[in-house]
């Protein structure tokens, strides 16, 4: 078996499946079960170095360290909000950075992770879209974000207390996860089997890439599907998400109906409210009509203004009115509670600030 995922010259352990870790142990002339011990250190104890894997014989640790590294991304910047939200800018081995967010709630701990460096979709209102696209992330880089955040949670835990465990993961950071399909699938498998997260507690959010939605429905029916719709018709969607006009609203809805029929699971529609653009009563009525009869839930996200996009945050009254139209139509609707309001909360802002500083822009 060829073991991929390299960090510089050394191979990264984060991102390898249990079978790959067992094969690695064999390759390094050790018993296969050592692969299981390495998985435990990497995925459940979230260590930084091979040196910390104290139940491995020291000679094996040395051989392993010559060939491999744990391979977690480095923390390039941290922003902590008063509400407990922690935003990390994480640097990959090649110097590229992505953002990840740790979100503690009363009943769960969620984290929002990136699937690509930047994003090729380039939504007109998004800071990530403005900062350009570099490349896909590897499975190790995706899972590494969760492991780094788990470490971050541990740092704040008083001695003697058990550190809180991340219970939910959303692929809603930088990038379109269904454009990086194989990595997303392998990462879900690792998070489920090695890290121990239930599939149902993981959400893949897509901007409406229909072929990817159809594949996901077959390959991972346990996953929660979220669609970043943002507009109830093609004209408005083309303005907000110009690169995705190949898949119209009607086709996206067909793919969602197929997902519900196959999984009997509720689809979440994310709708970012932009002042005077898509937040009027007419759009709310059109959205309500579009979603009528579908097993779904609408999550309204009042826009967090990003400099350079030209879009503004909606007033509280407009958000309330939009919400009212949807709920009166019988739809399940929530308004996203703004987390991390005292830090650069919108996705991509931290990375963009770093890029601007680096280029003196």
Residue numbers annotated as active site:
99, 347
Burial 29-50 (b: 16+ CB within 10 A, else e): ebeeebbebbbbbbbeebbeeb
Binds ligand SF4 (CB under 6 A): choice among 47, 92, 111, 123: 123
63 binds ligand SF4 (CB under 6 A): no
252 binds ligand SF4 (CB under 6 A): no
| Orientation of helix 210-219 relative to helix 249-263, angle to 10° | 0
Beta-strand relationship, 109-113 and 168-171: parallel
Beta-strand relationship, 202-206 and 224-228: parallel
207 binds ligand SF4 (CB under 6 A): yes
121 binds ligand SF4 (CB under 6 A): yes
Among candidate residues 151, 223, 145, the one with its CA nearest the CA of residue 189: 223
Q: Applying CB under 6 A, which part among 53-61, 123-131, 285-293, 337-345 lies near ligand SF4?
A: 123-131
35/118 with CB nearer ligand SF4: 118
SS3 7: strand
What Cα–Cα distance (Å) separates residue 188 from each residue in 18, 19, 124, 318, 335?
Answer: 14, 16, 29, 37, 27
Among candidate residues 133, 7, 147, 10, the one with its CA nearest the CA of residue 65: 10
Whether 142 contacts 115, CB under 8 Å: yes
239 binds ligand SF4 (CB under 6 A): no
Binding mask 170-199 for ligand SF4 (x = CB under 6 A): ----xxx-----------------------
129/314 with CB nearer ligand SF4: 129
Smallest gap from residue 97 Cβ to ligand SF4 (A): 14
Binding mask 336-355 for ligand SF4 (x = CB under 6 A): -----------x--------
175/212 with CB nearer ligand SF4: 175
Q: For ligand SF4, how many residues bind (rule: CB under 6 A)?
A: 12
Binds ligand SF4 (CB under 6 A): choice among 26, 122, 257, 265: 122
Smallest gap from residue 100 Cβ to ligand SF4 (A): 13
Among positive and negative, which fits the CA dihedral 133, 134, 136, 137?
A: negative
Round to whole Å and give the CA distance between 201 and 288.
Answer: 27
Binds ligand SF4 (CB under 6 A): choice among 15, 129, 177, 208: 129
152/180 with CB nearer ligand SF4: 180
Smallest gap from residue 333 Cβ to ligand SF4 (A): 20
CA angle 311, 316, 322 (to 5 degrees): 85
Whether 137 contacts 115, CB under 8 Å: yes
Smallest gap from residue 230 Cβ to ligand SF4 (A): 8
Structure tokens at 216: 């996901």
Q: Applying CB under 6 A, which part among 20-28, 47-55, 125-133, 142-150 lies near ligand SF4?
A: 125-133
Footprint of ligand SF4 (CB under 6 A): 119, 121-123, 126, 128-129, 174-176, 207, 347
């Amino acid at each position: 078996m060829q073991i991929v995922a390299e960090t510089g010259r050394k191979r990264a352990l984060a991102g390898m499946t249990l079978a790959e870790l067992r094969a690695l142990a064999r390759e390094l002339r050790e018993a296969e079960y050592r692969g299981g011990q390495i998985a435990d250190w990497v995925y459940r104890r979230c260590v930084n170095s091979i040196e910390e894997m104290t139940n491995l014989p020291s000679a094996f640790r040395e051989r392993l360290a010559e060939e491999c590294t744990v391979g977690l991304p480095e923390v390039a910047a941290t922003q902590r909000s008063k509400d407990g939200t922690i935003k990390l800018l994480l640097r990959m081995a090649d110097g590229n950075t992505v953002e990840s967010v740790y979100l503690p709630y009363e009943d769960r701990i969620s984290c929002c992770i990136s699937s690509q460096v930047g994003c090729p979709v380039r939504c007109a209102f998004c800071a990530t879209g403005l900062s350009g696209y570099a490349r896909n992330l590897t499975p190790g880089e995706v899972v590494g974000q969760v492991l780094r955040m788990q470490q971050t949670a541990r740092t704040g835990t008083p001695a003697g207390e058990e550190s809180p465990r991340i219970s939910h993961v959303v692929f809603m950071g930088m990038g379109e996860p269904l454009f990086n399909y194989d990595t997303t699938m392998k990462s879900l498998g690792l998070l489920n089997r090695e890290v121990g997260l239930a599939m149902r507690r993981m959400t893949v959010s897509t901007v409406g890439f229909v072929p990817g939605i159809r594949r996901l429905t077959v390959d991972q029916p346990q996953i929660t599907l979220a669609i970043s719709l943002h507009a109830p018709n093609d004209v408005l969607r083309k303005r907000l998400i110009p690169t995705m006009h190949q898949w119209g609203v009607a086709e996206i809805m067909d793919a969602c109906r197929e997902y519900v029929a196959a999984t009997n699971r509720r689809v979440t529609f994310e709708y970012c409210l932009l002042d005077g653009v898509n937040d009027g009563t007419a759009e709310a009525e059109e959205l309500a009509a579009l979603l009528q009869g579908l097993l779904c839930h609408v999550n309204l996200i009042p826009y967090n203004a990003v400099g350079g996009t030209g879009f503004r945050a909606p007033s509280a009254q407009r958000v309330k009115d939009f919400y009212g139209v949807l709920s009166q139509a019988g739809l399940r609707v929530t308004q996203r509670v703004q987390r991390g309001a005292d830090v650069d909360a919108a996705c991509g802002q931290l990375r963009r600030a770093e890029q601007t500083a680096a280029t003196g822009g």
